[in-house]
Chain A
Amino acid sequence: MPEKVTLVVFSGEMDKVLAAFNIAIGAASMGMEVSMFFTFWGLNIIKKNEGSIKNRGMMRKMLNLMNRGGSHRLPLSRFHMFGLGKWMMSKLMRDAKFPTVDELIATAKEAGVKFIACTNTMGVMGLSRDAFIPEVDGFGGVATYLAEAKEGRVNLFV
């Protein structure tokens, strides 16, 4: 049976997300079974880029306006500088032929990495399943994570 790896992706910043995907793809390349659990700001990575995100209630509408998310809208954790830092970092990465978040999502899926969205934070933020990209394999809570993590050889929180 293949060894399991789990990643809790809590952060929604591009730099941290790249690290999480690198580890996930690396582990899958080593024949390990990888699950990524997206929670809190991490949900932004797997939100659809296009269209609007449907929401109930004024406060949730405001939250989702300020926290729109989507793989194209992830800030940097440092030196974001209202987008200038991210633009510079993205250019450096493009010049170095480093994969984008979208490419990493596609590669991770191709490598068999499982994506799970956390229903708890979806509830708090008022997000429904149709807010997410079709690459998401499942929706679950902490028990779903722990059932995988207790068999995991490598469990990370990013």
Chain B
Amino acid sequence: MKADATLDCIGLYCPMPIYNTAKKLKELKPGQVLEVLADDEGIKADMPAWCRSTGNELLGIDEEKGQYKAYVRKAKKEV
């Protein structure tokens, strides 16, 4: 998947991946896609929950050898 920016959260535990995602997404324009790299399994549940709650769109989470890539599209409007 093509992303406009990448955020490295490898080695970080909850709540830092979603905290950093929230912070990084502020720098992006609406409609742009952020790729979040993480190795904390919590992201599988947390990123969908965070997106549901904030109105941003989760495009998918890829898993490969204990590492995760989550793709978040920034919402058109700030929620």
| Interfacial residues, chain A to chain B (CB-CB below 8 A) | 22-23, 25-26, 28-31, 96-99, 107, 111
Interface size range of chain B in the complex: 10 to 19
Could you list 16 A-B pairs, sorted by A, with CB under 8 Å?
A22-B15, A26-B14, A26-B15, A26-B19, A28-B19, A29-B18, A29-B19, A29-B50, A30-B22, A30-B53, A31-B22, A31-B54, A97-B11, A98-B13, A107-B16, A107-B19
Known: A26-B18, A31-B53, A97-B11. 17 other contacts (CB 8 A): A22-B14, A22-B15, A23-B15, A25-B15, A26-B14, A29-B18, A29-B23, A29-B50, A30-B18, A30-B22, A30-B50, A30-B53, A31-B79, A97-B13, A99-B16, A107-B16, A111-B19
Nearest chain B CB to A99 CB, angstrom units: 7
Contacts of A107 in B (CB 8 A): 16, 19
B54 contacts A30, C-beta separation under 8 Å: yes
What does DSSP make chain B's interface, helix, strand, loop or mixed? helix
Q: Are A29 and B15 in contact (CB under 8 A)?
A: yes
Residues of A contacting B15 with CB < 8 Å?
22-23, 25-26, 29
- CB-CB under 8 A from A98, the residues of chain B are 13
Chain A residues with CB below 8 A from B12, complex form: 97
Within 8 A of A (CB), among B29-79: 50, 53-54, 79
Which residues from chain A contact B11 at a C-beta distance below 8 Å?
97
Residue of A nearest to B16 (CB): A99
* Binary CB contact string for chain B from 1 to 23 against chain A (1 if under 8 A, 0 otherwise): 00000000001111110110111
Cα A111 to Cα B22 in complex, Å, equals 10
Asked if B19 and A96 make an inter-chain contact with CB atoms under 8 angstroms apart, the answer reads no
With a CB–CB cut-off of 8 A, which chain A residues contact B19? 25-26, 28-29, 107, 111
